[in-house]
Every structure is written in C-alpha cells, then in structure tokens.
Amino acid sequence: MSVPSPITIVGDVSDLPDTAMGPRSLVWWGTLGFMLIEGTAFLLAGAAYLYLRGQSAPWPPSGHAPPDLALGTLFTVILLLSEIPNRWLSGKAKKLQTKPVRIGIVVMGLLGSVLMAIRFLEFGRLNVNWDHDAYGSVTWLLMILHATHVLTDLADTFVLGACIFTRRISDSQFSDVNDNCFYWSFVVVTWLPIYALVYWGPRLL
Amino acid sequence: MSVVDPPLKGPTARLARTWGDAPGLWGFIATVDHKRIAARYIVVTVALLVLDGLLALDMRLQLAFPALKRLEAQGYNEAFSLHGSAMMFLVSVPVMEAMAIWLVPLMLAQRNMAFPRLNAFSFWMYLEGVLMLWIPHLFNVTPDLGWFEYPPLSGPSYSPGHRADIWAQMITFTEVAALSASVNTFVTIMRMRPPGMTLARMPLFLWAMLITSLMTIFALPAVMLVTSMLISDRLVATHFFNPAMGGDVVLFQHIFWFFGHPEVYIIFIPALGFVAAITETFCRRTVFGYVPIVLSLVAIAVLAFGLWVHHMFAVGLPRLGASFYTAASLVIAIPAGLQIFCYIATIWAGRPRFATPLMWVVAFIVTFVIGGLSGVMTASAPLDLQLTDTYFVVAHLHYVLIGGAMFPLFGAFAYWYPKATGRLMSEAWGKVAFWLIVGGFNLGFFPMHLLGLMGMPRRIYTYPAETGWQPLNIVASAGSAIAGIGAAIFVANALLSLWRGKPAGSDPWGGATLEWATSSPPPPHNFDQTPVVSDLTPLWREQRQAMEGLAVEHRELLMTTPIEARPDYRQKSPSPSIWPLLTALTVSAMFVGSIFTPWALVWGALPIGATVTGWFWPKKQA
C-alpha cells in the first residue's frame, strides 16, 4: 500500500464556458458515433446489393422494369436543395439567433415532410415488391433504411421545434439545432450512393 | 459489504450529495452512475457465465462416454446453441464493455461518462436481450442451430416456429446495447481525458478500449443487418438468402463473418488492456514498448476486418481469394506476437511480484500463444479444409477466447476488486482457483486438438465406441470438471471477500493510473478535484497536480480537446432518470412484436418516439 503524494492546485476551470458548438460539443461527437454506425450499415447494404447483382444474369431479373426515375430524381433534387436552408439554419444556430432559428426549423420541418411524402410515393414506383425476388428485397432494404433516417431526423426536427417555440432557447438548444443540421447533412450525403444503386443500378449495371 | 469510511465532510460531502442516487427503488431504476450500471452488467454476465459453464459441463458429461443418453440430439443442439450464443453475445462482449463502463471514467478521473443516460439505456437493453434468450428457453423455444445460424437451415423452409427468430432478435438487443456503450466509451475517451493526458500519455488500457469501441462501431452493424435480413426472410417473405429467387446463402456468411471475426478481437483487445495495466503495476515499471504496442493494437484492429473469409474456406471460394485471406490471417500473428514479446520483456526487466493478477497474465501468455499457434495452422486454407468443423477448431477457439480473454479478465477482476469493494480477495484461495482453472482448462481442451486430428466432428451429440475417441473425451470431461471447481472457488472467494477480505485502502497494489487516487470504493462523484497529468504513470510522481472549479451543487464535467487534452468547456451532466428504462421497454416491445408481425415496426415506433421525447425534453431552467 503506497502513501499518496501531496496534491498542488495548478488551475481553476470555473472560468471556462459552459456550452460549446459544433465539433467542440459533446453531442456532436455522439452524433458522429451514430453516423459511423449507420454509415457502415448503409455501406454493407450497398455491398449486399452489388453481391446479389453479381449472382443474377439480367438486372433487374426478367419481368421487372427499373424503378421510375421521375420521383426518385425529384426526391434527390429537393433533398440536395434542402442543404441550402439546412446550412443557413446551422449558421444561425451557431450565432445564437432566436428568430432565424425558429424560421429555419419550420422550413426544415416542411421540407422533411414533403420529402417523406415523396418517399412514400416512391415505394409504389419501384416496379417491384420486396417479396418478388432478391432484387426486390434488396431494393426495398436500401429504400427503407434511408427512409428511416429521413423520418428520424424529421421527428427530431419536430421535437426540437416544439422545444424552441415553447420556451426561451438556451445555448445548449442552439447547439442541439446545429447537431440536427449536421445529421441532416449525413442523411443527404448517404442518399446519393443509394440513389445511384436503386435508380441507376438496374439501368447501368 | 464495503469498508465503512468516516463520514464525508465539506465539499466532498456536497459533491457526494450532488452525484448520489436517491435511496430505494427509485434510485435503483433511475441511476445513471457508471459504477452501478457496470456492476449490474458484471453481475449478470457472471451469472450467465455460471449457467453457460453448467451447460458446458452437461455437454462434457454427455460426451465422456460413447452412446450415452444423458442428452438426446435435440437437447444437445440446444445446449451448444445456448452456450455459444450466450457466451459470444451475452457474456464476452458485454463483460468487456462493463469493465470499460466502470473503469474508463475512473482512469480518466471523471465523475461519469459522456452520456450517462445512454449508459443506463445500454444496460436495460442488454438485460432485455438476456431475457429474450432465456425466457423462451423456459418455454422450450430454444435456438438450436449453433451460435451462427446459417441459412438455409435457419430460413423459413427448414426452421419453422420461432427458435431462429429468438436467436436473431436477441442479437439485435445486445448489439443496440453494445453500440450504445461503444459510442459512449469512444466519446468519453476522446473528449474527457484529464488536462495533460494527451493521446501519447494515455494508459494502454484506454488505448485498448478506444480501439475496441471503434471496432465495435464498424463491426456490429453487420450482424444487426444480417439478422434483420434473416428475420425479414422468415417474416415477410423477402428472398435475400433464397437461391430459388435470386438470393444467396453465402451472402449471409459474408456479412455475418464481417462482424464475426472482428468480434474475436473486440473481446481480445480489452483483455490486452487488462494485461498492460496489471503487468505495469506488478512489475513496477512502465510497459516495455508503449508505442509499438499502440501501433500493434491499431494494426490488429485494421487487419481484423480483412480476415473474415478464413471462416469460410470450406464454402468453396476461388483459390486466389483463399490465398489472400490465408496471407492476411497469418499477418495478424505479427502484431499479436509483438505484444506478447513486449509483456515478456516488461516482466523480464521489471521487479515482478507474482500476486494472482500477474499469475493470470502469465497464464494468458502461455495459453494464448498455444491458441495463436493453432490459429496459424487453421489460417492455412488447405489445412483448414481438413480441420474445419472438427474438435481441433473447438480447442483453438477456446484457447484463444478463454486463454486470450477470460484469463486476463479473471486477473482484472482480482486486480480491481479492491477498488470496487474496498476489500482484497484472498490471495491463497485466489491461487487455488488459479491452478484449478488453468490446469483444468488445459487438461480439458488440449486433448480436443488430438480428437480433432483423429476426425471427431464438432456438434455431435454422441459417437460409437469403435471410433476410439473415448479415452481423450474422458480426459477432456475431467479437465472441464476440475476447471468448474476452480471457477466455483473463484466466485466463492469474490463473494466471501465482500465481508471477510482485508481492507484495501485506496491503492493496495501501488498502481500508477488515476483510478487508484480515489478511495476504495469510490464516492458517487469519484474524485474531488481534476488531476493534471504530465506522464504515463501519474501516481508514481513525487508531486501531483490538480485543477478545481467544477460545480459542486449540480452535475458538471470537464471537456478537454481531443488530441492535447487542454481544458475546453464545462458540460452539464444529466441527472438520474427512468426515461432510459422506459425507452428500453418500448424498444423491446417493438423488437419482440416484430418477430410476429411487421406492423410492430410501425405501431411500435410511436411509444418509442414518446419515450425518447421524454428522455431528451429539456428541464425548465432553475
């Protein structure tokens, strides 16, 4: 058993700020962790798509038309455009501006709702059901995986909206809004390879 | 139970009030104290270890004599499936996470982890995963296809009923728990190191847990994905693994082993962290080769993701692919071997004191080297074709997992037990348990190499006398029984020492890392002040330094920068809450429902949304 050596106090942390924004914030790091998990799942699902494509001579297998391009492309365009208000909202949250943040969260809630509605319609234009064959199964897998993420972020946007409209917005809630924007960017970026696989894979692969 | 300390006074008492739990049931279910959550994890894993050990002994009894009728084929299938599934998913990975949950904040001199409620949620999900496997077992709905349930056998055509669903969904529970714990560990280590603890001054245990948490983050989504695909094949008639409809059964194996092989290292790397901590303390010197060890941990983590196909050599892969994976599998022996040499050098150059924790390290080195050598053999595709699905593989995997992970875990248990309880375990009984377990283990499992070479397949419930396998099987069963007696003594020693062990004091072994700076057991807030670190062994310094200024009246943690660990900002830490438990219950309801109807995914999402909202809804500012 050792005798503890004496302790000298060499600093005081009480002057440090009590919130942080972006990569300095703890929640940002937690969000990053979950993005890595979900990103890995997307990658593996994409790999499963390519693997199954390798097992099948015609792709899509005979009898299926490729998914209709119009709705999927509309979804993609609106999703990409949503990054403009998303980045704007992130900037306003970093500057702790109440009114623009409230406007921004409403805009993002509306855009998310429109996108979910289009996604709902997309399922009817895939021209294949999940139980037709493995091509249908893996196409639906990719679409559902991504739709779940759109829905999750939309629900988070609504809850954050309810918070910031019913009370004074605290610094940590501004940080939460910023982290939600970060997650939306992830939802946007991960869609692009899935769009390529689901909509262009049957045409080009 | 624990040693009675004098009443706390002044700021210490106020901090203890701030960070303490309410008494009674409410405090029990609402706690977010990492120490209490980790203790629950450990108690459940130890209980399961006992159950799994009993299953193993039952199987060894069955195989001790030819044509025995103790277990019929179905009973034997269920026994090895329960044993393997519970050991891999409910014991080995969770117990390592539990050690991280308990130790990481203490080694960082922090008052809790980054996300305390996520920690509580992780445990409740894990517990429900345990119940998901064992409650159906009581009703005779037991998985019976081994710990990796390959289609087409596990598909809808060959496995009607819900046995395979129970297995697949149990995995979903435990992986949600493990991923939550891993994100928490990753962020805690990256953002909550004490001032001065740069990445280059981080104890090897923390390096091991950081790397493990990242491996978990990248590996576990694979098994969640593949078991979800299996459930959907069974429930809603998708065709991922149905060759008649364009699916492919080998796809299951690829995705499963993309998780399955890193999983071995997710179990093994934390064990290397234990070995590093114990070796340093009991050899009274820093571990030889700090930088090479860190680099080899990283190398193991990276290589582990490139080896999965060596579990599939018998599938019939292209020869070039088999050669590549043989080479990759052989390469991983280099960083693993390098670590072993570093630990031997540390013992050689230090002043070793062979207390039980260090004895477990020596047992680890010997046993893991044997397991590693048989691993090099099975890594070779042509030899593996002969050995696969024989008892040689059973011997190999137990040498690697028990020798490589469980022996260091037992050492870690003996090493940190006094910190957790305030009392020391009996050294004498610890050594008795050590010799019985290590001796019994080698007697039990070494003959299995020979049985495998003689052609005895794994997963058979009996064999005819003419095979000549009986003598070695009797030896193996006797060895397992001896190890079982040793395990019982180990557990009894741990339980009795809670009352009868010698008081430990804060640092009974003369450890150098920060967890030994606080009292044993630590108070609810762990530390009064924030230590400042200037080298790898802060407690071996003549002069220790600290910072003060964190809030006393509410829960607050110090965040530091990711690389240099400079003080950055103060982060409020959440108070106890039952929302994590309620969320775990709603998620569980959805998971259980979804093996019966896909609509559970839709309707189950609503209560989950409600409980998650309750969890994150901000409290009114005081």
Q: How many CA atoms lie within 13 A of A116 on its CB side?
A: 14
The verdict on B321 touching A (C-beta cutoff 8 Å) is no
Q: What is the rounded distance in angstroms from the CA atom of residue B620 to the CA atom of residue B622?
A: 6
List pLDDT tens digits, range A49-100: 999 999 988 999 988 999 999 999 999 999 999 999 999 999 999 999 999 9
Q: DSSP characters for B128-187? A: HHHHHHHHHHHTT----S-SS--TTTTSTTT--SSHHHHHHHHHHHHHHHHHHHHHHHHH
Q: What is the rounded distance in angstroms from the CA atom of residue A201 to the CA atom of residue B50?
A: 51
When CB atoms are compared, the residue of A9, A20, A136 closest to B548 is A9
* Helix, strand, coil percentages for chain B (3-state, nearest 5): 70, 5, 30
Q: What is the rounded distance in angstroms from the CA atom of residue A50 to the CA atom of residue A90?
A: 36
pLDDT at B522 > cutoff 60 = yes
Which chain A residue lies closest to B225 (C-alpha atoms)? A41
Q: Determine the residue among B419, B569, B573, B601 to mutate to test chain A binding: the one whose Cβ has the most chain A Cβ atoms within 10 Å.
A: B569
CA neighbor of B495 nearest in space, from B433, B425, B570, B409:
B425
Q: Say what the pLDDT of residue A3 is.
A: 55
When CB atoms are compared, the residue of A8, A13, A29 closest to B530 is A13
Least confident of A17-26, B9-18, B401-410: B9-18
What burial class does residue B291 get, using C-beta atoms within 10 Å of its C-beta: 0-12 exposed, 13-18 middle, 19+ buried? exposed
Q: What is the rounded distance in angstroms from the CA atom of residue B516 to the CA atom of residue B506?
A: 6
Beta bridge mates, B567: B560
The residue type of B1 is M
Q: Say what the pLDDT of residue B12 is.
A: 87
Q: What is the rounded distance in angstroms from the CA atom of residue B459 to the CA atom of residue B81?
A: 10
What's the whole-number average pLDDT of chain B?
95
Range of the domain at A112: 25-55+66-204
- Residue B617 makes CB contacts below 8 A (sequence gap 6+) with A159, A163
**Structural domain includes residue A150:** yes
B413 or B310: whose pLDDT is higher?
Answer: B413
What phi, psi does B571 have (nearest 5°)?
-115, 130
List pLDDT tens digits, range B232-270: 999 999 999 999 999 999 999 999 999 999 999 999 999
Q: Say what the pLDDT of residue B307 is.
A: 86
List pLDDT tens digits, range B148-204: 999 999 999 999 999 999 999 999 999 999 999 999 999 999 999 999 999 999 999
Question: In this structure, what DSSP letter does residue B2 have?
Answer: P
What burial class does residue A33 get, using C-beta atoms within 10 Å of its C-beta: 0-12 exposed, 13-18 middle, 19+ buried? buried
Within the 595-614 window of chain B, which residues sit less than 8 Å (CB to CB) from chain A? 609, 613
What phi, psi does B194 have (nearest 5°)?
-65, 155
**Structural domain includes residue A1:** no
Q: What is the rounded distance in angstroms from the CA atom of residue B16 to the CA atom of residue B555?
A: 10
Prior bond to B521 cis, omega within 30?
Answer: yes
Q: What is the mean pLDDT of residues B297-323?
A: 89
Q: How far apart are the first and last CA of chain B?
A: 38
Q: Say what the pLDDT of residue B506 is.
A: 95
Cβ distance B191 to A36 less than 8 Å, yes or no, reads: no
Q: What is the rounded distance in angstroms from the CA atom of residue B279 to the CA atom of residue B354?
A: 10
pLDDT at B8 > cutoff 70 = no
Q: What is the mean pLDDT of residues A11-25?
A: 94
What phi, psi does B548 have (nearest 5°)?
-130, 180
Query: Smallest CA–CA separation between A69 and chain B, in Å?
Result: 24
Domain count, chain A: 1
Beta bridge mates, B141: none
pLDDT at B438 > cutoff 70 = yes
CA neighbor of B515 nearest in space, from B116, B102, B198:
B102
List pLDDT tens digits, range B281-295: 999 999 999 999 999
Q: How many CB atoms lie within 10 A of CB B526?
A: 23
Q: Say what the pLDDT of residue B1 is.
A: 40
The verdict on A124 touching B (C-beta cutoff 8 Å) is no
**Structural domain includes residue A8:** no
The pairing of strands B530-532 and B544-548 is antiparallel
For residues A195 and A69, is the Cβ–Cβ distance under 8 A?
A: no
Beta bridge mates, B558: B570
Q: Determine the residue among B315, B570, B617 to mutate to test chain A binding: the one whose Cβ has the most chain A Cβ atoms within 10 Å.
A: B570
Q: What percent of chain B has pLDDT over 70?
A: 98
Q: Say what the pLDDT of residue B608 is.
A: 97
Segments in B245-318 forming alpha helices (H): 249-283, 290-304
Size of interface A-B (CB pairs under 8 A): 193
**Domain range B34-576, CATH class:** mainly alpha
Q: What is the rounded distance in angstroms from the CA atom of residue B233 to the CA atom of residue B599?
A: 15
Q: What is the rounded distance in angstroms from the CA atom of residue B230 to the CA atom of residue B436?
A: 42
The residue type of A179 is D
Q: What is the mean pLDDT of residues A111-129?
A: 97
Q: Determine the residue among B176, B220, B239 to mutate to test chain A binding: the one whose Cβ has the most chain A Cβ atoms within 10 Å.
A: B239
The vertex-B480 CA angle with B478 and B485, nearest 5°, equals 95
Q: Say what the pLDDT of residue B317 is.
A: 82
pLDDT band at A5 (very low <50, low <70, confident <90, very high): low
Q: What is the rounded distance in angstroms from the CA atom of residue B195 to the CA atom of residue B104?
A: 15
Per CB-CB distance under 8 Å, the chain A contacts of B567 are: 11, 13, 16
Q: What is the mean pLDDT of residues B345-369?
A: 97
The verdict on A101 touching B (C-beta cutoff 8 Å) is no
Q: What is the mean pLDDT of residues B531-535?
A: 94
Least confident of B200-214, B310-324, B366-380, B467-481: B310-324
List pLDDT tens digits, range A155-203: 999 999 999 999 889 998 999 999 999 999 999 999 999 999 999 999 9
Q: What is the mean pLDDT of residues B401-408?
A: 96
List pLDDT tens digits, range B565-589: 999 999 999 999 999 999 999 999 9
Measure Cα distances from A119 to A149, A181, B14 in Å.
12, 20, 54
Q: What is the rounded distance in angstroms from the CA atom of residue B249 to the CA atom of residue B622?
A: 58
CATH number, domain containing residue A113: 1.20.120.80
List pLDDT tens digits, range B16-70: 999 999 999 999 999 999 999 999 999 999 999 999 999 999 999 999 999 998 9
B537 or B5: whose pLDDT is higher?
Answer: B537
CA neighbor of B397 nearest in space, from B88, B50, B52:
B88
Q: What percent of chain A has pLDDT over 70?
A: 98
Question: In this structure, what DSSP letter does residue B253 have?
Answer: H
What phi, psi does A24 have (nearest 5°)?
-80, -20
Q: DSSP characters for A49-91? A: HHHHHHH-SSSSPTT-PPPPHHHHHHHHHHHHHHHHHHHHHHH
**Structural domain includes residue A5:** no
**Structural domain includes residue A6:** no
Residue with tokens 């970093």: A94
Q: Say what the pLDDT of residue A192 is.
A: 98
- This model of the complex carries an ipTM of 0.95
3-state secondary structure of B548: strand
- The pair of three-digit structure tokens given for residue B442, joined into one six-digit string: 């080698």
Within the 538-577 window of chain B, which residues sit less than 8 Å (CB to CB) from chain A? 539, 541-550, 556, 558-559, 567-572
